[in-house]
């Protein structure tokens, strides 16, 4: 029944490691996003994908590489993790377009990444 799911929920790792976060949505939406929420709760968009195509890349370092194998999945791979990458990462999805009900973003439960 979960609309947007993410795994894992918690990720603790050492600096320099590579890690991945997976996201899946079962809402039939055509657009998916990755957000980073820092310790001050600020929510910043990282990437948006529409129909598996990258639309927005908000000047995110190259160490972050999203991949969308199909419209229902958007994964995030992070290379050479740094201390500053510690945050909560949220996946979200929406149906873009005009009309009622579109644009509402459905968020996953988040992945808390801690880099030691």
Tell the smallest beta-carbon distance from residue 71 to another protein (Å).
Answer: 14
Instruction: Give the CB-side neighbour count of residue 27, counting CA atoms within 13 A.
Output: 24
The CA distance from 3 to 68, in Å, is: 17
φ, ψ dihedrals at 67, nearest 5°: -145, 130
Count of residues near another protein by CB under 8 A:
27
Question: In the complex with another protein, which residue's Cβ is closer, 44 or 63?
Answer: 44
The CA distance from 20 to 45, in Å, is: 18
Q: Are strands 64-70 and 73-78 parallel, antiparallel or unpaired?
A: antiparallel
Q: Does 1 bind another protein (CB under 8 A)?
A: no
Question: In the complex with another protein, which residue's Cβ is closer, 16 or 97?
Answer: 97
Identified binder of another protein from the candidate list 8, 18, 104, 116, rule CB under 8 A:
104
Number of Cβ within a 10 Å radius of residue 110: 17
Q: Which of residues 26-65 bind another protein (CB under 8 A)?
A: 31, 33, 40-45, 48, 50, 55-56
Binding site for another protein (CB under 8 A): 4, 31, 33, 40-45, 48, 50, 55-56, 90, 92, 96-98, 102-110
């Amino acid at each position: 029944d979960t609309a947007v799911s993410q795994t894992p929920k918690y990720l603790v790792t050492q600096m320099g490691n590579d890690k991945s976060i997976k996201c899946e949505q079962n809402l039939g939406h055509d657009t998916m996003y990755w957000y980073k929420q820092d310790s001050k709760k600020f929510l910043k968009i990282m990437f948006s994908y529409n129909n598996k195509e990258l639309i927005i890349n908000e000047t995110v370092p190259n160490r972050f590489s999203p991949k969308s194998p199909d419209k229902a999945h958007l994964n995030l791979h992070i290379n050479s993790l740094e201390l500053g990458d510690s945050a909560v990462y949220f996946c979200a999805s929406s149906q873009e377009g005009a009309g009622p009900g579109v644009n509402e973003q459905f968020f996953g439960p988040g992945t808390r990444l801690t880099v030691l």
